[in-house]
């Protein structure tokens, strides 16, 4: 009976942890299979423990090349989307102007559109203009779909900011530029960082829009997609595992920094 009562009381926790398990199971499989030595071209069945893939992560033709293209696109898309998105967010929160509603809808719509629709329509534009598909068309597309997410993240932060802080800075004879650089920007920074991080993750991982607008350029997700047909090298799992570890470390580091800052303030 005691067990039944305990079970009932912790039903939510048990359910939540099961969901967490469901969410992380593929990551566990990816990690375990990065130590596999498959017999055929596909790495779907466990054969034998081996460190080969970890010793030689770039041993597969073209994989690391695609990885580097993805990283370059993600970095430039993040920079572009973060700058453009932060500007829009500030305009939306800080100013009253005509067409605010229209601008808000234009920001909202890309997030409420299936990716395949954006991908297909963008391709019709490029086809009609006769644009050469490749690095630049991918970059253009990535900045486009990351933009809305950056705006949302930055807007949330700037909205919760007390405008009196800037008034105080101006009362203390700070010029507009000084106020912006020393007061506004540092307070908005966590929102901008969150937006940038999100943009990087979205761009680096995007497959659908890239697949339509890449031409013959191959990004890492496209390499993985192709390998699902041709044969999946173990090195793909190595990259997947490394990405997971780096992501967790990155977020942990960010939290440590912000915790320390909060403690300093207190």
Partner 1 sequence: MASVTEAPLLAPQPDKKPPRKRGRLVPYWLLLPGILWLLIFFALPMVYQVSTSVQTGSLEEGFKVTWHFQTYWNALADYWPQFLRSVLYAGAATILCLVLGYPLAYLIAFRAGRWRNVVLILVIAPFFTSFLIRTLAWKTILADGGPVVGALNTLHVLDVTNWLGFTSGDRVLATPLAVVCGLTYNFLPFMILPLYTSLERIDGRLHEAAGDLYAKPFTTFRKVTFPLSMPGVVSGTLLTFIPASGDYVNADLLGSTDTRMVGNVIQTQFLRILDYPTAAALSFILMAAILIMVTLYIRKSGTEDLV
Closest separation in Å from C-beta 206 to partner 1: 9
Closest CA to 63 of 237, 195, 213: 237
The β-bridge partners of 36 are: 49
190 contacts partner 1 (rule: CB under 8 A): yes
Residues 6+ apart with CB under 8 A from 224: 232, 236
Binding-site string for partner 1 from residue 50 to residue 89, where x marks contact by CB under 8 A and - marks none: ----------------------------------xx-xx-
- Single out the residue of 111, 168, 185, 257 in contact with partner 1 (rule: CB under 8 A): 111
175 contacts partner 1 (rule: CB under 8 A): no
Closest separation in Å from C-beta 90 to partner 1: 6
- In angstroms, the CA 157 to CA 93 distance is 10
Site for partner 1 in 121-140 (CB under 8 A): 121-125, 127-128, 140
DSSP classification of residue 184: I
- In angstroms, the CA 221 to CA 216 distance is 14
Q: Which is nearer to partner 1, 185 or 246 (CB)?
A: 246
- In angstroms, the CA 195 to CA 80 distance is 12
Q: Which is nearer to partner 1, 26 or 175 (CB)?
A: 26
155 contacts partner 1 (rule: CB under 8 A): yes
Segment lying near partner 1 (by CB under 8 A), choices 55-63, 148-156, 179-187: 148-156
239: alpha, beta or left? (left if phi > 0; alpha if psi -120 to 50)? alpha
């Amino acid at each position: 009976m005691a067990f039944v009562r305990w079970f009932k009381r912790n039903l939510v926790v048990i359910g939540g942890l099961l969901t967490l398990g469901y969410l992380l199971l593929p990551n566990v499989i990816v990690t375990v299979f990065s130590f596999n030595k498959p017999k055929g071209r596909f790495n779907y069945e466990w054969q034998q423990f081996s460190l080969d893939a970890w010793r030689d992560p770039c041993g597969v033709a073209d994989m690391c090349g695609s990885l580097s293209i993805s990283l370059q696109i993600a970095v430039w898309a993040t920079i572009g989307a973060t700058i453009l998105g932060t500007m829009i967010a500030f305009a939306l929160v800080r100013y009253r102007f005509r067409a605010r509603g229209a601008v808000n809808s234009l920001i909202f719509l890309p997030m409420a559109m299936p990716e395949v629709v954006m991908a297909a329509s963008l391709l019709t534009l490029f086809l009609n203009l006769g644009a050469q598909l490749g690095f630049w068309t991918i970059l253009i597309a990535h900045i486009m779909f990351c933009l809305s997410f950056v705006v949302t993240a930055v807007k949330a932060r700037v909205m919760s900011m007390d405008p009196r802080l800037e008034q105080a800075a101006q009362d203390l004879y700070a010029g507009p530029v000084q106020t912006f650089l020393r007061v506004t920007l540092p307070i908005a920074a966590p929102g901008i960082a969150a937006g940038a991080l999100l943009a990087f993750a979205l761009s680096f991982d995007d497959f659908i829009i890239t697949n339509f607008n890449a031409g013959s350029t191959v990004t890492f997700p496209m390499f993985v997609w192709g390998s699902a047909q041709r044969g999946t090298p173990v090195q793909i799992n190595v990259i997947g595992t490394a990405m997971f570890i780096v992501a967790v470390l990155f977020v942990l580091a960010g939290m440590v920094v912000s915790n320390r800052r909060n403690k300093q303030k207190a």
